[in-house]
Structure 1
Amino acid sequence: MQSSGMATFDDVRLLGMQLPEVTESTSYGTPALKVRMKLVCRMWGDREHNRNNVHDTEVLVLFCELDMKPVLLENHPDVLFTMPHYDGYGAVLVRLADVELDDLADWIEESYRHRALPTLIHKLDAS
C-alpha cells in the first residue's frame, strides 16, 4: 500500500470494504460507505467545497467520539480539520491530498466502530 499523498475515494472504498457488512452508497449525492444503512464516511460535494472555500483537496467526513475530536485535530493538524457546521458533533474532516494511508485505514475503522452495531464490532475483532 502506498504510504502518502493523494488518497482518493478508491482508497477509501478499498479500506472500508474490508470491514464487516460495509456497502458503497451515496449521501447528499456524494460517494459514501455505510454499514447496515448507517453512514460510516462520505465525500464532500462541490457545494461544501465552495461554501467552505476548500479547493486544494478532496475531503472525507469521518465519525469519532466527541471527546476524541480535539485530540485528533491537535495531533494531525495538517490532515484533519473541522468547520463550524460540525461543532458539537463527533465528526472530523480529512484532507485526502495529505493523508497517510495507514492513518486513513485507522480512522475509517474508528468511524466504523463508532457507527456499527456491537455484533459487527465483535465480528471485526474476532477476524
Structure 2
Amino acid sequence: MNIDMLHYWRKVLNIALELPGTEESSSHGTPACKVNSKLFARLWEDGKTLAVYSAERERWMKLRPAVYFITAHYNNHPMLLINLEKVGEAELKELVQTSWEIRAPRSLQKSWKESSN
C-alpha cells in the first residue's frame, strides 16, 4: 500500500470504526470494511477511489460529478464511487455512515442511533 493509499484508507477507516460491528477486512485484494460480514466500503486498486452503498447515488452524481460517479460495472448495483482526493470530510462521513446503515442489521442500527442521541 503506497503512502497516498494509506492516507485515504486511514480517513475511511477512522469513520467506519466508529460504527458498531465494523470489521476491517479486504475485498478483491484491497482494504474494505464490513459489518456482519457484509461489505459496506471498499478501496479501489487505485488507492483514491472508494466504493460505498448508496440509495441516492443519482443525487450525489448530479451534485458533484467530479467527486461522485459510477462505472459500467456498477450500473446494476446500488453502489457509488467516491474520489477521495476531492471529497469533503463531512460528505465522506455521511456516505460511509449511510452505506453502513444500508448493510448493518437492524439491531446494530438501533443501538447506534440510541447511542448517538
With normalisation by structure 1, the TM-score equals 0.82
Aligned to 2:110: 122
- The question of 1:58 aligning with 2:48 is answered yes
Find the aligned partners of 2:59 and 2:88 in 1 and give their Cα distance. 18
- The question of 1:70 aligning with 2:58 is answered yes
Aligned to 2:90: 102
Aligned to 1:52: none
Per-residue CA deviations over 1:85-123 (Å, capped at 9, x if unaligned) read 000211010000001111100000000011011111111
Find the aligned partners of 2:51 and 2:109 in 1 and give their Cα distance. 20
Q: How many residue pairs align between the two structures? A: 109
Per-residue CA deviations over 1:35-63 (Å, capped at 9, x if unaligned) read 01100100111xxx5xxxxxxx7100000
Q: What letter is aligned with 1:71? A: R
Gaps of 5+ in 2: 1-6
Find the aligned partners of 2:33 and 2:15 in 1 and give their Cα distance. 10
Identical pairs, percent? 28
Q: Which has the higher contact order (CA 8 A, sep 6+)?
A: 1
**1:78: how far off?**
2.3
Q: What letter is aligned with 1:119? A: S
With normalisation by structure 2, the TM-score equals 0.88
Aligned to 1:34: 34
Aligned to 2:4: none
> Structure 1 segments of 4 or more deviating over 4 A?
none
